């Protein structure tokens, strides 16, 4: 399955910006670690971001993240660190979540592995969220929590609904970003199933990627698998509706389909963040799916785009 990655950019007084990203690197393990051409692309993608969530890491030898950090810090002018979850999953199949973050911009206040032990509903999630509480002193929202999720496609309805229980468990932190590969569309989450997903039906949660979006690469598939959901007034008030566009990096970089299957398609959401006493600070959301790789900064050049969706 081909997936998306998610980018959220928060700018402040200067030309600097805070870019929060999510990237399902599809079976990210030893085979990709040993291919320099793939690692070079992944490093370039991460280096555009201040926070990058990586999903579908398959690294039983615990070699991938240290190797990636070394490559990233060798490429970037500013150093990164990372935090990584334990190996998560049922039986022998395991994945990890990892967050790479730029030290100049943010720090990690606390990590929390959601236990998924709710009485009567134990083990509802295939890969329990690895929750990160970030401090971001230069942005309007000084602290926020990122809750990642990579669902099992056939269990997407149950697992997306379970995010509401994750929210109840960690709700003392009011600015949330739920993001990741939710498999939230087409055959995995049919229209009739949305009424059973609490995160969708409570008005305090805002879904930024609409059901008509396509976050896949194949021409024969049009599915909004990957999503970003916001909670908390400071984040929700930053969002301008109906502003999604998709950047086709296959065209922008003249890549073959075989090459783009190793990387991702950006969807960008241009947002404006306002608060009394502050100037208008642009907040930009980019979603990278499996067929493009164009990155936007606060000061943009003209980019190759596809039509937007909500």
Q: Which are the catalytic amino acids?
A: 95, 150
CA–CA–CA angle 161, 146, 138 (5° rounding): 150
Local structure of 221: helix, strand or coil: coil
Instruction: Name the nearest CA neighbour of 252 among 235, 268, 273, 238.
Output: 268
Tokens of 266: 């950006």
CA–CA–CA angle 145, 211, 154 (5° rounding): 80
Are 144 and 158 in contact by the 8 Å Cβ rule? The answer is no
Exposure string for 19-39, b = 16+ CB within 10 A, e = fewer: bbbbbbbbebbeebbeeeebb
Q: What are the strands, taking DSSP E only, across 219-295?
A: 226-231, 244-247, 266-273, 281-288
Tokens of 281: 């600070």
Local structure of 99: helix, strand or coil: strand
Give the other-Cβ count within 10 Å of 67's Cβ.
14
């Amino acid at each position: 399955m081909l997936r998306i990655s998610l980018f959220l950019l928060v700018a402040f007084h200067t030309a600097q910006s805070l870019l929060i990203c999510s990237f399902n690197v599809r079976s990210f393990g030893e085979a990709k670690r040993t291919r320099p051409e793939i690692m070079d692309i992944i490093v370039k993608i991460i280096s555009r971001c201040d926070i990058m969530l990586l999903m579908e890491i398959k690294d039983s030898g615990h070699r991938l993240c240290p190797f990636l950090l070394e490559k990233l810090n060798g490429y970037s002018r500013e150093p990164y660190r990372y935090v990584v979850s334990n190996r998560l999953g049922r039986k022998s199949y395991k994945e990890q979540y990892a967050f790479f973050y730029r030290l100049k911009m943010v720090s990690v206040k606390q990590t929390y592995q959601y236990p998924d032990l709710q009485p009567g509903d134990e083990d509802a999630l295939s890969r329990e969220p690895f929750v990160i509480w970030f401090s971001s002193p230069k942005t309007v929202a000084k602290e926020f929590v990122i809750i990642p999720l990579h669902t099992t496609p056939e269990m997407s309805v149950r697992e997306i609904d379970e995010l509401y229980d994750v929210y109840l468990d960690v709700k003392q932190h009011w600015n949330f970003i739920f993001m990741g590969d939710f498999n939230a569309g087409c055959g995995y989450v049919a229209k009739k199933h949305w009424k059973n997903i609490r995160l969708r039906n409570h008005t305090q949660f805002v879904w930024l990627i609409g059901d008509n979006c396509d976050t896949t690469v194949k021409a024969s598939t049009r599915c909004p698998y990957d999503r970003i959901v916001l909670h908390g007034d400071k984040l929700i008030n930053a969002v301008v509706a109906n502003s999604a566009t998709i950047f086709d990096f296959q065209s922008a970089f003249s890549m073959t389909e075989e090459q783009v299957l190793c990387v991702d398609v950006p969807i960008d959401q241009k947002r404006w963040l306002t608060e009394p006493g502050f100037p208008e600070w642009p907040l930009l959301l980019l979603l990278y799916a499996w067929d493009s790789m164009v990155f936007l900064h606060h000061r943009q050049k003209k980019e190759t785009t596809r039509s937007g969706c909500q």
